[in-house]
Amino acid sequence: MAPAPKPKLAVWKFASCDGCQLSLLDCEDELLAVADAVEIAYFPEATRAVVKGPDDLSLVEGSITTQHDAARIHQVRKSSKRLVTIGACATAGGIQALRNFADVSEYTKYVYANPSYISTLATSTPISRHVYVDFELQGCPINKTQLLEVISAFVHGRKPNIASHSVCIECKRSGTPCVMVTQGTPCMGPITHAGCGSICPSYGRGCYSCFGPMETPNTASLAKWFEKLGDDRAAVLRKFRTFYSGKEAYRKESGRHEPG
Protein backbone atom coordinates (compact mmCIF):
# COMPACT_ATOMS: atom_id res chain seq x y z
CA MET A 1 0.00 0.00 0.00
CA ALA A 2 1.34 3.41 -0.89
CA PRO A 3 1.96 5.70 2.06
CA ALA A 4 -0.71 8.35 2.68
CA PRO A 5 0.13 11.58 0.88
CA LYS A 6 1.72 14.12 3.15
CA PRO A 7 -0.32 17.23 3.98
CA LYS A 8 0.60 20.18 1.80
CA LEU A 9 1.96 23.26 3.53
CA ALA A 10 1.95 26.71 1.93
CA VAL A 11 3.49 29.88 3.33
CA TRP A 12 2.05 33.18 2.08
CA LYS A 13 3.35 36.69 2.45
CA PHE A 14 1.35 39.90 2.66
CA ALA A 15 2.53 43.26 4.08
CA SER A 16 5.27 42.16 6.46
CA CYS A 17 9.01 41.94 7.06
CA ASP A 18 9.31 38.15 6.44
CA GLY A 19 10.56 37.62 9.99
CA CYS A 20 7.76 35.26 10.93
CA GLN A 21 8.07 32.95 7.95
CA LEU A 22 11.81 32.94 8.49
CA SER A 23 11.04 31.51 11.97
CA LEU A 24 10.18 28.33 10.09
CA LEU A 25 13.57 28.24 8.38
CA ASP A 26 15.06 29.09 11.76
CA CYS A 27 13.88 25.69 13.04
CA GLU A 28 17.22 24.25 12.01
CA ASP A 29 17.16 21.14 14.19
CA GLU A 30 13.56 20.35 13.33
CA LEU A 31 13.58 21.33 9.66
CA LEU A 32 14.06 17.78 8.38
CA ALA A 33 11.21 16.59 10.59
CA VAL A 34 9.02 19.35 9.16
CA ALA A 35 9.94 18.31 5.63
CA ASP A 36 9.15 14.71 6.56
CA ALA A 37 5.78 15.57 8.04
CA VAL A 38 4.52 17.91 5.33
CA GLU A 39 5.04 18.59 1.66
CA ILE A 40 6.25 22.15 1.18
CA ALA A 41 3.88 23.20 -1.60
CA TYR A 42 4.54 26.93 -1.67
CA PHE A 43 7.25 28.75 0.26
CA PRO A 44 9.12 31.27 -1.91
CA GLU A 45 11.54 32.16 0.90
CA ALA A 46 12.73 28.55 0.89
CA THR A 47 12.24 27.20 -2.62
CA ARG A 48 11.18 28.24 -6.11
CA ALA A 49 9.47 24.88 -6.59
CA VAL A 50 5.71 25.21 -6.50
CA VAL A 51 3.31 22.32 -6.02
CA LYS A 52 -0.22 22.84 -7.24
CA GLY A 53 -2.89 23.51 -4.58
CA PRO A 54 -5.20 23.18 -2.83
CA ASP A 55 -3.17 23.22 0.38
CA ASP A 56 -3.95 21.45 3.62
CA LEU A 57 -2.38 24.13 5.80
CA SER A 58 -1.63 27.69 4.83
CA LEU A 59 0.51 29.89 7.04
CA VAL A 60 -0.23 33.52 6.29
CA GLU A 61 2.16 36.28 7.24
CA GLY A 62 1.47 39.99 6.83
CA SER A 63 -1.43 42.39 6.84
CA ILE A 64 -3.73 43.72 4.14
CA THR A 65 -2.61 47.14 2.95
CA THR A 66 -3.48 47.15 -0.77
CA GLN A 67 -6.52 46.44 -2.95
CA HIS A 68 -4.52 43.74 -4.67
CA ASP A 69 -3.81 41.93 -1.40
CA ALA A 70 -7.40 42.34 -0.26
CA ALA A 71 -8.42 40.31 -3.31
CA ARG A 72 -5.49 37.86 -3.12
CA ILE A 73 -6.25 36.73 0.42
CA HIS A 74 -9.61 35.40 -0.79
CA GLN A 75 -7.77 33.26 -3.34
CA VAL A 76 -5.51 31.91 -0.58
CA ARG A 77 -8.49 31.14 1.61
CA LYS A 78 -10.24 29.34 -1.25
CA SER A 79 -7.24 27.11 -1.85
CA SER A 80 -6.58 26.32 1.85
CA LYS A 81 -8.24 23.70 4.00
CA ARG A 82 -6.85 25.36 7.12
CA LEU A 83 -5.56 28.89 7.30
CA VAL A 84 -3.36 29.97 10.21
CA THR A 85 -2.16 33.56 10.49
CA ILE A 86 1.29 34.08 11.97
CA GLY A 87 2.63 37.23 13.61
CA ALA A 88 1.49 40.70 14.62
CA CYS A 89 0.95 41.89 11.03
CA ALA A 90 -1.35 39.05 10.07
CA THR A 91 -3.22 38.95 13.38
CA ALA A 92 -3.45 42.67 14.19
CA GLY A 93 -2.21 44.76 11.25
CA GLY A 94 1.34 45.01 12.60
CA ILE A 95 3.53 48.04 13.07
CA GLN A 96 2.18 49.39 9.78
CA ALA A 97 -1.25 49.69 11.40
CA LEU A 98 0.11 52.93 12.88
CA ARG A 99 -1.09 54.38 9.58
CA ASN A 100 -4.62 53.83 10.88
CA PHE A 101 -4.01 56.76 13.23
CA ALA A 102 -2.62 59.03 10.48
CA ASP A 103 -3.30 60.33 7.00
CA VAL A 104 -1.69 57.98 4.49
CA SER A 105 -1.66 60.46 1.61
CA GLU A 106 0.23 62.89 3.83
CA TYR A 107 2.79 60.20 4.61
CA THR A 108 3.30 59.17 1.00
CA LYS A 109 3.86 62.80 0.03
CA TYR A 110 6.83 63.04 2.38
CA VAL A 111 8.27 59.58 1.83
CA TYR A 112 8.10 59.05 -1.94
CA ALA A 113 9.50 61.23 -4.70
CA ASN A 114 6.54 60.31 -6.89
CA PRO A 115 3.63 59.48 -4.58
CA SER A 116 1.41 59.04 -7.62
CA TYR A 117 3.02 55.62 -8.14
CA ILE A 118 1.80 54.48 -4.73
CA SER A 119 -1.46 52.62 -4.60
CA THR A 120 -2.29 51.71 -1.06
CA LEU A 121 -5.22 51.41 1.32
CA ALA A 122 -5.76 53.94 4.08
CA THR A 123 -5.47 51.21 6.69
CA SER A 124 -3.50 48.10 7.54
CA THR A 125 -5.84 45.35 8.70
CA PRO A 126 -5.47 41.81 9.99
CA ILE A 127 -6.28 38.83 7.80
CA SER A 128 -9.25 37.93 10.01
CA ARG A 129 -10.92 41.17 8.91
CA HIS A 130 -11.07 39.75 5.39
CA VAL A 131 -11.45 35.96 5.55
CA TYR A 132 -12.16 33.24 8.09
CA VAL A 133 -9.03 32.27 10.03
CA ASP A 134 -8.67 28.89 11.73
CA PHE A 135 -6.01 29.93 14.22
CA GLU A 136 -3.97 33.03 15.06
CA LEU A 137 -0.40 32.68 16.30
CA GLN A 138 0.79 35.87 18.00
CA GLY A 139 4.19 37.50 18.18
CA CYS A 140 6.53 39.96 16.51
CA PRO A 141 8.09 37.77 15.50
CA ILE A 142 6.39 34.51 16.40
CA ASN A 143 8.18 31.98 18.60
CA LYS A 144 9.50 29.09 16.50
CA THR A 145 8.70 26.47 19.14
CA GLN A 146 5.10 27.68 19.12
CA LEU A 147 5.08 27.55 15.32
CA LEU A 148 6.20 23.92 15.39
CA GLU A 149 3.51 23.20 17.99
CA VAL A 150 0.85 24.72 15.73
CA ILE A 151 2.06 22.81 12.65
CA SER A 152 2.19 19.56 14.66
CA ALA A 153 -1.29 20.17 16.03
CA PHE A 154 -2.80 20.81 12.59
CA VAL A 155 -0.98 17.89 10.99
CA HIS A 156 -2.31 15.55 13.69
CA GLY A 157 -5.74 17.10 14.01
CA ARG A 158 -5.46 18.22 17.61
CA LYS A 159 -5.77 21.48 19.50
CA PRO A 160 -2.57 23.54 19.65
CA ASN A 161 -1.22 24.14 23.17
CA ILE A 162 -0.94 27.89 22.89
CA ALA A 163 -1.94 29.73 26.05
CA SER A 164 -3.47 33.20 25.81
CA HIS A 165 -2.85 34.23 29.42
CA SER A 166 -0.36 36.85 30.63
CA VAL A 167 3.41 36.87 30.28
CA CYS A 168 3.52 37.07 34.11
CA ILE A 169 2.69 33.39 34.32
CA GLU A 170 5.77 32.64 32.20
CA CYS A 171 7.93 34.84 34.46
CA LYS A 172 6.65 33.16 37.59
CA ARG A 173 6.98 29.63 36.22
CA SER A 174 10.61 30.34 35.38
CA GLY A 175 11.30 32.11 38.69
CA THR A 176 12.02 35.54 37.22
CA PRO A 177 11.34 38.26 39.82
CA CYS A 178 8.93 40.93 38.56
CA VAL A 179 10.76 43.94 37.07
CA MET A 180 7.87 46.26 37.82
CA VAL A 181 7.76 45.28 41.49
CA THR A 182 11.53 45.13 42.09
CA GLN A 183 12.63 48.09 39.93
CA GLY A 184 9.53 50.12 39.20
CA THR A 185 10.12 49.48 35.50
CA PRO A 186 6.86 49.79 33.54
CA CYS A 187 6.18 46.38 32.03
CA MET A 188 3.42 45.38 29.63
CA GLY A 189 3.70 41.74 30.75
CA PRO A 190 0.52 41.64 32.88
CA ILE A 191 -1.68 42.41 29.86
CA THR A 192 0.46 40.74 27.21
CA HIS A 193 -0.18 37.41 25.52
CA ALA A 194 2.26 34.72 26.64
CA GLY A 195 4.43 32.83 24.19
CA CYS A 196 7.85 34.47 24.12
CA GLY A 197 9.00 32.79 27.34
CA SER A 198 9.19 36.23 29.02
CA ILE A 199 12.48 37.13 27.35
CA CYS A 200 12.68 40.84 28.23
CA PRO A 201 11.89 40.56 31.97
CA SER A 202 14.44 37.75 32.26
CA TYR A 203 17.01 40.33 31.10
CA GLY A 204 15.72 42.92 33.56
CA ARG A 205 13.66 44.89 31.03
CA GLY A 206 9.97 45.65 30.86
CA CYS A 207 7.86 43.72 28.35
CA TYR A 208 7.12 45.62 25.11
CA SER A 209 4.03 43.58 24.34
CA CYS A 210 5.35 42.23 21.07
CA PHE A 211 2.87 39.34 21.46
CA GLY A 212 -0.06 41.73 21.79
CA PRO A 213 -2.92 41.80 24.27
CA MET A 214 -3.66 38.71 26.36
CA GLU A 215 -7.14 37.22 26.68
CA THR A 216 -8.53 39.77 29.18
CA PRO A 217 -6.30 42.87 29.01
CA ASN A 218 -7.17 45.45 31.69
CA THR A 219 -5.29 48.20 29.87
CA ALA A 220 -6.76 51.08 31.89
CA SER A 221 -5.57 49.74 35.24
CA LEU A 222 -2.05 49.07 34.00
CA ALA A 223 -1.82 52.45 32.25
CA LYS A 224 -2.83 54.13 35.51
CA TRP A 225 -0.04 52.24 37.31
CA PHE A 226 2.48 53.29 34.64
CA GLU A 227 1.58 56.90 35.36
CA LYS A 228 2.12 56.26 39.04
CA LEU A 229 5.56 54.86 38.19
CA GLY A 230 6.36 58.11 36.40
CA ASP A 231 5.28 57.65 32.78
CA ASP A 232 3.81 60.76 31.17
CA ARG A 233 0.94 60.59 28.67
CA ALA A 234 3.25 60.32 25.69
CA ALA A 235 5.14 57.42 27.25
CA VAL A 236 1.94 55.53 27.97
CA LEU A 237 0.63 56.24 24.47
CA ARG A 238 3.80 54.86 22.91
CA LYS A 239 3.52 51.63 24.90
CA PHE A 240 0.14 50.92 23.36
CA ARG A 241 1.11 52.02 19.84
CA THR A 242 3.74 49.58 18.79
CA PHE A 243 3.33 46.13 17.28
CA TYR A 244 -0.29 45.65 18.23
CA SER A 245 -1.88 49.12 17.93
CA GLY A 246 -4.37 47.51 15.55
CA LYS A 247 -5.93 45.45 18.35
CA GLU A 248 -9.04 47.10 19.70
CA ALA A 249 -7.91 47.06 23.35
CA TYR A 250 -4.63 48.83 22.55
CA ARG A 251 -6.16 51.18 19.98
CA LYS A 252 -8.69 52.37 22.55
CA GLU A 253 -6.23 52.69 25.45
CA SER A 254 -3.72 54.59 23.33
CA GLY A 255 -6.51 56.98 22.34
CA ARG A 256 -7.04 57.89 26.00
CA HIS A 257 -3.46 59.17 26.15
CA GLU A 258 -3.54 61.37 23.04
CA PRO A 259 -2.15 64.83 23.69
CA GLY A 260 -4.62 67.54 24.65
Partner 1 sequence: MEHRAGIEWSAQTSYVARADFNALIDALLNHGYIVVGPTIRDGAIVFGEVQSDRDFPVGATDVQDGGKYRIGEHTAPTLFSFAASPHSLKTYLYPSRSLLYSAHGSSGNFAVDAPAPQTPARYAFIGVRSCDLHAMNLQDKVFLEGAYVDPGYKHRRENAFLIAVNCGKPAGTCFCVSMGTGPKAPPLFDLALTEICDDSGHYFVVECGSAQGSAILACVPHRPAEATELHAAQEVVRGAERAMGRKLDTTDIKELLYRNAESPRWEKVADRCLSCANCTMVCPTCFCSTVEDTTDLTGAHAERWRVWDSCFTIDFSHIHGGSVRKSGSSRYRHWITHKLASWQDQFGASGCVGCGRCVTWCPVGIDITEEIAILRQTETDHETLPEEQGNARD
Residues lying near partner 1 in the complex (CB under 8 A) are found at: 30, 33-34, 36-37, 148-149, 151-153, 155-156, 158, 161, 163-166, 168-169, 172-184, 187, 189-191, 204, 215-216, 218, 220-222, 224-225, 228
Q: Which is nearer to partner 1, 128 or 164 (CB)?
A: 164
Radius of gyration over alpha carbons of the chain, in Å? Answer: 20
Nearest to 17 by CA among 53, 61, 50: 61
Q: Are residues 198 and 167 in contact, defined by beta-carbon separation less than 8 angstroms?
A: yes
Q: How far is the CB of 82 from partner 1 (least distance, A)?
A: 16
Nearest to 237 by CA among 253, 221, 222, 225: 253
End-to-end CA distance of the chain: 72
Q: Which is nearer to partner 1, 135 or 225 (CB)?
A: 225
Q: Which is nearer to partner 1, 1 or 111 (CB)?
A: 1
Q: How far is the CB of 161 from partner 1 (least distance, A)?
A: 5
Is 91 in a helix, a strand, or coil?
helix
Q: Which is nearer to partner 1, 89 or 249 (CB)?
A: 249
DSSP state of 86: E
Q: How many CB atoms lie within 10 A of CB 127?
A: 29
Q: How far is the CB of 244 from partner 1 (least distance, A)?
A: 17
Q: Which is nearer to partner 1, 111 or 181 (CB)?
A: 181
Q: How far is the CB of 106 from partner 1 (least distance, A)?
A: 37
